[in-house]
């Protein structure tokens, strides 16, 4: 049935803001906002529970624009409903330091829940939101007191569904029965290169039905049909829902609608004049009549929704004061008050009780020690729990227990990491995920996104070098550490023993606005002797592990398993009268954040004779040793053989370190 003129006019307010902003910026994507305007009008005016005056209201519905290139759709909605997005902000679309960047960015714009743009990751974040909502509700709701109860809505397009990550996360969403996840698919058949039927002919309905989703098809410009489908999706509490909305990209543009020309470029001044006539829009650019604003304004309704919920929470707080306090602590992202002392005591116990074990096992021991004090930890692994050693003593798997604390992600490294980003963004949890370091490559862009969004996601990567042995070069990471270390706002820790492993975990947990990569060995590593000051200095990212026994002449910098080689070289060189110190550098990023006086005390600038040793690509370490220094490491891919044979074959040995020091002196 045709959409009522009144509703069409409200949707046209979105369309005009979108094409005018893109035209003014001379950059952007008007097609998706114009095509999805009717869907957005239905969802945001009839169903979405949110409060523009408090965008962080705990029990709000979450909205994700996975097809983030259509960002003007979201900005228009935020502006119209009353968020802190002014018409001047709309006019500054895609300009430096504006609230309306080219793609929605978390932290820039009130009401934007996650940064989207890399296609497919928005729907992955939405799955993370839905997991977090379901789990937090199961952990905190009580009979008669439902304080966590809301939906996660997501818009996506053809590009999101073509990206492989959408398969990973939507498959898992069906398995986990995320019934409060509702997705609207903008089925317009157009991408940048033209009509997608030449390269995307999937039967999307059957695909999602096979995942275990509820699937409906509607005319994406029929508001009555969209309303009915949304009501049916809300009524389905077990299965996630996909509403396939057949739309016309650039709807309203007489010459460009339905064509790729409306996808990623301004309509043009002449076409905008024609579009205004087609839409019967008689107002000047960026001018909206007051009755449009009145109809869209969601502030009063949002405040009423939050007030009703606040009364429910107050009753909950009276009935369960400790539980309410714990919920607030967790959603605020605060660690328990006694965590610092617990962490300190555990780190010291590792130093006092030496163990020669693999750092992946030391990591598991640390999780077991800290998790009972951190109920917000939500762990998981990409089908490698027995190798990553990420399962802990009291782990409860989400698939079997909605109030659980561990997710078997299956072989879904990319999806896993992007889901974890959504969980972190939602709040109330500190997610950690795990795979082999080599397979970080599958997750690389999601790791980057957590760093960009400043989210506390902990990435556990084991089997960290040629030391993993016989699995060979396909599984032996070479360039991955350099890639991680090159990522802004990411702390990469590669500890050498149980003590450094414990510190790495503690510092990752404390880093509220920085994700971490924890890099652990497959093979056993020896415990290193330290005094109390050295233990404290580990948290600074780099410290003097072995002091020089003669006048300082040279410095050896090492990480992880190669600390053992550095220490053996130190002993040999010291015995021959060379003044050499060993610097352990478990996290170069944190070390570089220290005051210059501390850094110079560890790496005195006048001591230019420096050698770095790490069973990884050599290039990274020249920033510390200089072009005149030496790096003992890898410049090729590995081989399949036992670890001890590989270290000898690639000349990553104690003798090689000694010879390198002698060469730079």
- Could you give the percent of the chain with pLDDT greater than 70? 100
338-519, superfamily in CATH?
Thiamin diphosphate (ThDP)-binding fold, Pyr/PP domains (3.40.50.970)
Angle between helix axes 223-235 and 31-42 (nearest 10 degrees) is: 60
Contacts of 490 (CB under 8 A, 6+ apart): 447, 450, 451, 484, 514, 515, 516, 517, 589
Active site residue 88: no
Place of tokens 């966590």: 148
Kindly report the CATH number that applies to the domain delimited by 5-303.
Answer: 3.40.50.970
Range 240-245 average pLDDT: 98
What is the pTM (predicted TM-score) of this model? 0.98
For every residue of 224-259, DSSP letters joined together read HHHHHHHHHHHH--SS-EEEEEE--TTTT-TTTTTS
Higher pLDDT, 7 or 198: 198
On the question of pLDDT at 1 being above 90, the answer is no
Rounded to whole angstroms, what are the CA distances from 503 to 95, 351, 497, 544, 569? 42, 11, 10, 16, 25
Query: pLDDT, tens digit, for every residue of 542-562?
Result: 999 999 999 999 999 999 999
Query: pLDDT, tens digit, for every residue of 89-129?
Result: 999 999 999 999 999 999 999 999 999 999 999 999 999 99
On the question of pLDDT at 190 being above 70, the answer is yes
Q: How far apart are CA 123 and CA 419, in angstroms?
A: 9
Range 428-450 average pLDDT: 98
Write down the pLDDT at residue 4. Answer: 80
| In contact, 243 and 229? CB cutoff 8 Å | yes
Element containing residue 461 per DSSP (H, E): strand 458-462
On the question of pLDDT at 576 being above 70, the answer is yes
Q: How far apart are CA 349 and CA 343, in angstroms?
A: 10
| In contact, 500 and 584? CB cutoff 8 Å | yes
* 255 φ/ψ angles, rounded to the nearest 5 degrees: -105, -15
Which positions make up the binding site? 29, 69, 117-119, 158-159, 188, 190, 263, 360, 387, 439, 463, 471, 475, 522
On the question of pLDDT at 450 being above 90, the answer is yes
On the question of pLDDT at 2 being above 80, the answer is no
Sheet strand arrangement including 241-246? 62-65, 152-157, 181-187, 241-246, 214-219
Give 145's DSSP letter: B
Contacts of 562 (CB under 8 A, 6+ apart): 613, 614, 615, 632, 652
Angle between helix axes 71-81 and 31-42 (nearest 10 degrees) is: 40
Which positions make up the binding site for substrate? 29, 263, 360, 387, 463, 471, 475, 522
pLDDT confidence band for 305 (50 / 70 / 90): very high
Residue ranges, comma separated, of all CATH 3.40.50.970 domains in the chain are 5-303, 338-519
CATH 3.40.50.920 is the classification of domain 540-664:
yes
pLDDT confidence band for 6 (50 / 70 / 90): confident
Query: pLDDT, tens digit, for every residue of 21-80?
Result: 999 999 999 999 999 999 999 999 999 999 999 999 999 999 999 999 999 999 999 999
On the question of pLDDT at 400 being above 90, the answer is no
- Closest by CA to 88, choosing from 97, 103, 99, is 99
- Closest by CA to 617, choosing from 600, 629, 631, 597, is 631
The residue from 7, 163, 168, 413 that is catalytic is 413
Q: How far apart are CA 115 and CA 455, in angstroms?
A: 11
Residue ranges, comma separated, of all CATH 3.40.50.920 domains in the chain are 540-664
Three-state DSSP at 356 gives coil
Give the dihedral sign, CA 478/484/487/491.
negative
Write down the pLDDT at residue 33. Answer: 98
Write down the pLDDT at residue 226. Answer: 98
Write down the pLDDT at residue 616. Answer: 97
Which positions make up the binding site for thiamine diphosphate? 69, 117-119, 159, 188, 263, 439
Range 263-276 average pLDDT: 97
Q: How far apart are CA 289 and CA 315, in angstroms?
A: 42
| In contact, 497 and 361? CB cutoff 8 Å | no
Rounded to whole angstroms, what are the CA distances from 221 to 12, 78, 189, 225, 602? 12, 21, 15, 9, 65
Three-state DSSP at 585 gives coil
Q: How far apart are CA 376 and CA 333, in angstroms?
A: 9
Neighbours of 445 (CB within 10 A): 14
| In contact, 43 and 10? CB cutoff 8 Å | no
Query: pLDDT, tens digit, for every residue of 627-654?
Result: 999 999 999 999 999 999 999 999 999 9
Write down the pLDDT at residue 113. Answer: 98
pLDDT confidence band for 436 (50 / 70 / 90): very high
């Amino acid at each position: 049935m045709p959409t009522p003129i009144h509703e069409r006019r409200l949707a046209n307010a979105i369309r005009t803001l979108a094409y005018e902003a893109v035209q003014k910026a001379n950059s952007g994507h008007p097609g998706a906002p114009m095509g999805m305007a009717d869907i957005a009008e239905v969802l945001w005016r009839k169903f979405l529970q949110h409060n523009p005056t408090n965008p962080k209201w705990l029990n709000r519905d979450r909205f994700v624009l996975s097809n983030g290139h259509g960002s003007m759709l979201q900005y228009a909605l935020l502006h119209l409903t009353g968020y802190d997005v002014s018409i001047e902000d709309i006019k500054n679309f895609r300009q430096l330091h504006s609230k309306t960047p080219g793609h929605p960015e978390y932290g820039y714009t009130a009401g934007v829940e996650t940064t989207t743009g890399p296609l497919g990751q928005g729907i992955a974040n939405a799955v993370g939101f839905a997991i977090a909502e379901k789990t937090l509700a199961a952990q905190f709701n009580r009979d008669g007191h439902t304080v966590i109860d809301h939906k996660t809505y997501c818009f996506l397009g053809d590009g999101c569904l073509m990206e492989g990550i959408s398969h990973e996360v939507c498959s898992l969403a069906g398995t986990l029965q995320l019934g409060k996840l509702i997705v609207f698919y903008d089925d317009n058949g157009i991408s940048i290169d033209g009509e997608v039927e030449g390269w995307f002919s999937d039967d999307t309905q059957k695909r999602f039905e096979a995942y275990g989703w509820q699937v409906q098809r509607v005319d994406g410009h029929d508001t009555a049909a969209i309303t009915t489908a949304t009501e049916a999706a809300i009524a389905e509490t077990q299965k996630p829902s996909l509403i396939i909305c057949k739309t016309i990209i650039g709807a309203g543009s007489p010459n460009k609608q339905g064509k790729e020309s409306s996808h990623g470029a301004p309509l043009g001044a002449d076409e905008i004049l024609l579009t205004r006539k087609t839409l019967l829009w008689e107002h000047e650019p960026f001018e909206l009549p007051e009755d449009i604003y009145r109809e869209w304004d969601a502030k009063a309704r949002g405040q009423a929704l939050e007030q009703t919920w606040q009364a429910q929470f107050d009753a909950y707080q009276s009935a369960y004061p400790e539980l309410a306090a714990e919920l607030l602590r967790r959603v605020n992202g605060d660690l328990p008050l006694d965590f610092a002392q617990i962490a300190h005591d555990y780190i010291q116990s590792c130093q006092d009780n030496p163990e020669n074990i693999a750092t992946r096992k030391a990591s598991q021991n640390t999780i077991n020690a800290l998790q009972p004090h951190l109920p917000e930890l939500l762990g998981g692994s990409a089908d490698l729990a027995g190798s990553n050693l990420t399962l802990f003593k009291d782990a409860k798997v989400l698939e079997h227990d909605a109030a659980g604390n561990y997710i078997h992600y299956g072989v879904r490294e990319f999806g896993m990491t992007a889901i974890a980003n959504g969980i972190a963004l939602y709040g109330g949890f500190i997610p950690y995920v795990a795979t082999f370091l080599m397979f970080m490559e599958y997750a690389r862009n999601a790791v980057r996104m957590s760093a960009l969004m400043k989210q506390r996601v902990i990435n556990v990567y084991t089997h960290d070098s040629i030391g993993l042995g016989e699995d060979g070069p396909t599984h032996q990471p070479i360039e991955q550490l350099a890639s991680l270390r090159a990522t802004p706002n990411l702390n990469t820790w590669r500890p050498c023993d149980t003590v450094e492993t414990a510190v790495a975990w503690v510092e990752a947990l404390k880093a509220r606005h920085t994700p971490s990569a924890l890099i652990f060995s497959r093979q056993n590593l020896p415990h290193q002797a330290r005094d109390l000051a050295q233990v404290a200095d580990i948290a600074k990212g780099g410290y003097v592990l072995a002091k020089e026994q003669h006048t300082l002449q040279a410095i050896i910098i090492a990480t992880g398993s190669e600390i053992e080689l550095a220490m053996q070289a130190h002993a040999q060189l010291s015995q021959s009268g060379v003044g050499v110190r060993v610097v352990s550098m478990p996290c170069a990023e944190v070390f570089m954040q220290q005051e210059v006086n501390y850094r110079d005390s560890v790496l005195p600038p006048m001591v230019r004779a420096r050698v770095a040793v790490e069973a990884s690509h050599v290039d990274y370490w020249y920033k510390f040793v200089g072009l005149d220094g030496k790096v003992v490491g890898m410049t090729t891919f590995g081989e399949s053989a036992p670890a001890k044979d590989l270290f000898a074959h690639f000349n990553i040995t104690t003798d090689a370190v000694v010879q390198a020091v002698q060469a730079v002196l």
